Amino acid sequence: MAQVLEFKLPDLGEGLTEAEIVRWLVKVGDVVAVDQPVVEVETAKAMVEVPCPYGGVVTARFGEEGTELPVGAPLLTVAVGAPAAEPEGSGNVLVGYGTQAPAARRRRVRTGTAGANGQAQGTKAASAAPRTRLTAPAPASMPAPASVPAPAEGPVPVISPLVRKLARDNGVDLRRLAGTGPDGLILRADVENALRAGTAAPDTAEAPVVRAAPAAAPRAEAGTRIPLKGVRGAVADKLSRSRREIPDATCWVDADATELMRARTAMNAAGGPKISLLALLARICTAALDRFPELNSTVDTEAREIVRLDRVHLGFAAQTERGLVVPVVRDAHTRDAESLTAEFARLTEAARAGTLTPGELTGGTFTLNNYGVFGVDGSTPIINHPEAAMLGVGRIVPKPWVHEGELAVRQVVQLSLTFDHRVCDGGTAGGFLRYVADCVEQPAVLLRTL
């Protein structure tokens, strides 16, 4: 006899409490397999295809395309056959759906109409959000979970399909893990720490998104109200946390970039792949961080420790139709200008196409912000928490400049460094910025340090 099972919107990680249905991938009557993606949802982090933990026939769908649902709200129901006839499942029963948010929460619908059996007939097109198949972001530093004997029977305490997929892809037996979450819940960090047990700790820990309860704002008599949600909401939360926690300071300097521009022109005239200006600035950044490692660090507020990081994962600001994102170039310190150019181009294209994965948007240790593309000279940017510094680069424009004792027209750029005053003092920050400026003015300085 068939049994009808209800699949609810799971906890997708990163502290998220709701998601918007963008596109249904199945309809009522379709046969689905275990872990087959059934719906595409948009969170504040990415576009995510959600897999169903049950195999069988879809009997109902809940929610139209454009509807925002809380974690724990029903997504669909599946009729599964008798145990002997069922396909083999993933072995990881989803436990605890609905414990984080009530399913009866009001649903907000932007477009579309509902058809029979809860089928969505809306036509809302998928936006250019980062799209992923629940790939795991950079790991968070936590003590490795203890290994325990597998229970004889009963469900595995796992909520997130991201955790199940990560464990399945890496051959981790969830029944042998002791979860560090509430009531023994197995978290993503538990799986990641099990994978790296016996190896060196990761370079950095991504702090969870903190969603503070907003204060009630007085009703305006007139005006347009725009929900602070999705990417814009996530950015607002992160920037607010940076301002609350980081005592930042900014220093800046004007530099003559004429020789750097000439060097780039000569490199590109020699044949081979073209080298971008951003790649040259990134190469200068990594060399400067090697001399001033204090700025490639993070602060562990609970332990009251500064954690200096051994590797440079360089974030860079990229403007997209959905807002500002910061893709991350992994191990930027090991790359030459040609490799950096190629990786910047790949990540920028993915950002504009909306195909960046969460792993490509997290784990940065230092950010390079080229706001000169907006036609401005200077800025005092907010540090990308939990990093310790950000280098800003303004536009490069012809300006009067004293060169070799003579007044001349030179290509001038303003450089700014915003830094966490907890990790270093002004002398270190000034030394870093002066070295960067020297490399911009005389690229041979960089060659002498390689």
pLDDT tens digit sequence for 28-55: 999 999 889 999 887 765 677 889 988 9
178 and 109 share a domain? yes
**DSSP tag of 158:** B
Residue 209, domain member (yes or no): no
Maximum average pLDDT range among 41-55, 57-71, 223-237, 306-320: 306-320
Q: What is the CATH number of the domain that holds 79?
A: 2.40.50.100
106 and 240 share a domain? no
Element holding 279 (H helix, E strand): helix 277-291
289 and 384 share a domain? yes
Which of 139-148, 333-342, 404-413 bottoms out in mean pLDDT, i.e. has the lowest?
Answer: 139-148
Residue 34, domain member (yes or no): yes
How many angstroms separate the Cα of 420 from the Cα of each of 227, 296, 306, 384?
31, 11, 11, 11
DSSP states of 198-261 as a string?
A: TSPPPS--PPPPP-PPPPPPPPPSS-------HHHHHHHHHHHHHHHH--EEEEEEEEE-HHHH
Rounded distance between C-alpha atoms, residue 439 and residue 234, angstroms: 35
Q: Which of 195, 219, 253 is at the close of a domain?
A: 195
Quickly count helices (H) and strands (E) in the chain.
8, 21
Number of domains in the chain: 2
How many CB atoms sit inside 10 A of residue 74's CB?
Answer: 18
**DSSP tag of 354:** T
Residue 225, domain member (yes or no): no
What proportion of the chain, given as a percentage, has pLDDT over 70?
73
Q: Which of 195, 216, 251 is at the close of a domain?
A: 195
266 and 163 share a domain? no
Give every CB contact of residue 287 below 8 A, 6+ residues apart in sequence. Answer: 435, 439, 446, 449, 450
144 and 249 share a domain? no
Q: What is the CATH number of the domain that holds 253?
A: 3.30.559.10
241 and 157 share a domain? no
Q: What's the pTM value of the predicted model, to 2 decimals?
A: 0.56
What proportion of the chain, given as a percentage, has pLDDT over 90?
45
Rounded distance between C-alpha atoms, residue 197 and residue 176, angstroms: 14
Q: Which domain holds residue 300?
A: 232-449
Note the pLDDT of residue 15: 55
124 and 253 share a domain? no
Residue 226, domain member (yes or no): no
pLDDT band at 292 (very low <50, low <70, confident <90, very high): very high
Of residues 242 and 196, more confidence is placed in 242
Q: Which of 195, 215, 249 is at the close of a domain?
A: 195
Note the pLDDT of residue 448: 59
pLDDT exceeds cutoff 70 at 182: no
Q: Write out pLDDT tens, residues 87-137.
A: 444 444 343 333 333 333 434 444 443 443 444 333 333 344 445 444 434
Rounded distance between C-alpha atoms, residue 47 and residue 18, angstroms: 13
Note the pLDDT of residue 104: 38
**DSSP tag of 374:** G
Q: Write out pLDDT tens, residues 325-351.
A: 899 999 999 999 999 999 999 999 998
Token pair belonging to 326: 């910061």
69 and 124 share a domain? yes
Note the pLDDT of residue 69: 85
189 and 238 share a domain? no
User: Quick check: is 169 catalytic?
Assistant: no
Q: Write out pLDDT tens, residues 364-379.
A: 999 999 999 889 999 8
178 and 285 share a domain? no
Residue 223, domain member (yes or no): no
pLDDT exceeds cutoff 80 at 24: yes
User: Quick check: is 421 catalytic?
Assistant: yes
The catalytic position among 173, 333, 421, 438 is 421
The catalytic position among 377, 420, 425, 438 is 425
Token pair belonging to 26: 């199945």
Torsion (CA) 436, 272, 317, 307 in degrees, nearest 10? -60
Of residues 83 and 435, more confidence is placed in 435
Residue 377, domain member (yes or no): yes
Q: Write out pLDDT tens, residues 166-180.
A: 787 788 888 888 888
Rounded distance between C-alpha atoms, residue 90 and residue 157, angstroms: 14
